[in-house]
Chain A
Amino acid sequence: MTGRDRFHPDVQRYLDGEHVEGVAQRDIEEADRFAKAVLEYGASAEAPDARVDAAVMEVVRARVSQREGSFWQWLVQPNLVRIRPALMAAASIALVASGAALVSLLPRTSPTVADAVPTVLVRFELRAPEAMRVTVTGSFDQWSGDRVELQQNTATGVWSGTIPLTPGRHEYSFVIDGERWLPDPMAHAQVDDGFGQVNSVIVVGPRGVVRS
C-alpha cells in the first residue's frame, strides 16, 4: 500500500469497474494488488457441501410427516371450531357452508356448519367504498393478484367474494384497484413476507375456519 489512508475517488471508481483516466500507474497497481489479495482470500474459503442439502431435506420430510399426522388426528378427533367474536360483527372473513347457493342465506354466526369435504368455502370481505376494483390473492392462488375478483355492495361499500380453500394455513392480501396491496385489517395474524410487506393469515380446518 502507498501510505495514504484511503483510496482516491478515481481509484474507487476503477475498483468499481468503471473506466477512468488520469490515475497514476502506482495507484492502479496498488488497487490491483488489493483486489487480487481479497479475491484469493475468498477463493480459499470453502463453501459448505451437499450434506447441507441432505440435512435440509430430512427436516422438510419430517415437517410433511408431522403435518399429515396432525391432519389425520384433526379428522378423527372431535374438534371445536373457533371463530373470533369480532368476526361476527365486522365479518372480515366468514365461514360459509359447502354449497355456493347457500352462501348468502347462511347467517354469519353459523360457523359450525361443516362437512368433511376437501375444500371449505370461505367468504372474504373488505369495506372499501372508494375502490374501483378489489381482488383477493394469496398462497392459495400462487399470489396471482387478480384471479379472484370481489363484488361490491354499492349501498355499504363492502366488497365480498367466496372461494374454496383447502384445509391448512393460507396467507393472503387484498389488492385495491390492481396496485395497492392491503392486508386484511381483521385478520388474527399478520406476517412479514420477507420483502417488507405484510400478509394476513387464515387457518382453515376440514370442518371450517379455525382461525381467521
Chain B
Amino acid sequence: MGDAELVRRVLAGEVELYRVLVERYRAEFGRYATALLGGDVDEAADALQEAFIKAYDSLASCRQPDKFKAWVFRIVTNQCHNARRRRRLHAPLETISTPASETADERLNTGEVKTAIGAALEALTEEQRIAFVMKHIDGRSYAEMAELLNVGQDALKMRVHRARDEMKRRLEGVV
C-alpha cells in the first residue's frame, strides 16, 4: 500500500496502519540518523521515535500525502539536528561494532580509520554532513536527495564536494 493511501486511512481512524509507515521509514532512515549522530544508535532511536510521534501529531498538516517520505525525512533530520544541539557527543564511535572475522591488527587499523572518519564527519557543517551522509553512506542520487531535502541538485553537489574536500584534508595519511 502506498504512503498516500496509508496516510489517508490513518487520518480516517485506522491508526494501527501508522505502524506500516514507521517500519518502512525507520528501516530506511535508521542508518542515516545513526551516522548523523556520530554512530550513537541509542540517540538515533530516540530521534526517530520523536520524529515519528511529531509526524503523527501533525499528520493532518501533510498536504501532499504522496510526499510523506520527504516530509518525514525532514522531520527526522530536524530531530537529529536538535539532538546534536542538546548535547555534545564525546566518544560515540565506541558503539560501532567491527566484524568478528577481522584479525586483531585489522581491527585496530579499521577502528582507527573509523574513528578518524567519525571525527572528520563531526567537523563538517550541518548541511555538508547531511549531504555527505546521504550521498556516501545512504548511496542516494542527487535527484533523490533534492526531492527529500527540497534543495536544488547543484547546491547539493556543492555541499558534497566541499564535504569531500574537508574530509580529504582531515583524513590525510589515514585513508
A residues engaging B (CB < 8 A)?
1, 3, 5-7, 12, 15-17, 33-35, 37-42, 44-53, 55-57, 59-61, 63-64, 139, 142-143, 169-171, 173, 191-197, 199
Contacts of A169 in B (CB 8 A): 60
Chain A, residue nearest B36 (CB): A45
Contacts of B33 in A (CB 8 A): 47-48
Residues B27 and A47 in contact, CB atoms below 8 Å apart: yes
Output the least CB separation between A212 and chain B (Å). Answer: 16
Q: How far is the CA of A61 from the CA of B74 in the complex (A)?
A: 24
Residues A60 and B48 in contact, CB atoms below 8 Å apart: no
Residues A42 and B113 in contact, CB atoms below 8 Å apart: no
Residues A12 and B26 in contact, CB atoms below 8 Å apart: no
**Interface size bracket, B side:** 35 or more
Q: Which residue of B56, B61, B99, B168 is within 8 Å of A34 (Cβ)?
A: B168
Given contacts A46-B95, A194-B75, contact A60 B56 (CB under 8 A): yes
Which applies to chain B's interface (DSSP): helix, strand, loop or mixed? helix
Cβ contacts B159-174/A at 8 Å (1 or 0 each): 0110011011101111
**Can you give 12 A-B contacts (C-beta < 8 A)?**
A3-B172, A7-B168, A16-B142, A42-B133, A44-B98, A48-B33, A50-B26, A52-B49, A53-B22, A57-B18, A191-B61, A194-B71
Residues B172 and A57 in contact, CB atoms below 8 Å apart: no
Residues B117 and A38 in contact, CB atoms below 8 Å apart: yes
Given contacts A1-B175, A48-B34, contact A59 B63 (CB under 8 A): no
Contacts of B48 in A (CB 8 A): 48, 52
Of A47, A59, A63, chain B has the most CB atoms within 10 Å of the CB of: A47
Given contacts A60-B56, A169-B60, contact A44 B97 (CB under 8 A): yes
Contacts of A15 in B (CB 8 A): 164
Q: How far is the CA of A185 from the CA of B170 in the complex (A)?
A: 52
Residues A171 and B97 in contact, CB atoms below 8 Å apart: no
Residues B117 and A41 in contact, CB atoms below 8 Å apart: yes
Q: Which residue of B97, B137, B139, B141 is within 8 Å of A46 (Cβ)?
A: B97
Contacts of A60 in B (CB 8 A): 15, 18, 53, 56
Cβ contacts B116-130/A at 8 Å (1 or 0 each): 011000000000000
Q: How far is the CA of A38 from the CA of B56 in the complex (A)?
A: 34
Q: How far is the CA of A51 from the CA of B35 in the complex (A)?
A: 19
Q: Which residue of A1, A49, A56 is within 8 Å of B56 (Cβ)?
A: A56
Output the least CB separation between B127 and chain A (Å). Answer: 17
Check B57 for interface membership: any CB of A closer than 8 A. yes
Q: Which residue of A12, A139, A197 is within 8 Å of B161 (Cβ)?
A: A12
Q: How far is the CA of A5 from the CA of B166 in the complex (A)?
A: 8
Contacts of A49 in B (CB 8 A): 45
Q: Which residue of A1, A41, A42, A53 is within 8 Å of B19 (Cβ)?
A: A53
Residues B58 and A194 in contact, CB atoms below 8 Å apart: yes
Residues B136 and A42 in contact, CB atoms below 8 Å apart: yes
Check B82 for interface membership: any CB of A closer than 8 A. no
Q: How far is the CA of A48 from the CA of B50 in the complex (A)?
A: 13
Residues B39 and A45 in contact, CB atoms below 8 Å apart: yes
Residues A171 and B164 in contact, CB atoms below 8 Å apart: no
Can you list the 8 inter-chain pairs with the closest CB atoms, starting with the nearest? Answer: A47-B30, A42-B137, A48-B45, A139-B60, A6-B165, A46-B41, A41-B117, A45-B34
Contacts of A16 in B (CB 8 A): 142, 157, 160
Near A by CB (< 8 A), chain B positions 42-93 give 44-45, 48-49, 52-53, 56-58, 60-65, 67, 71, 74-75
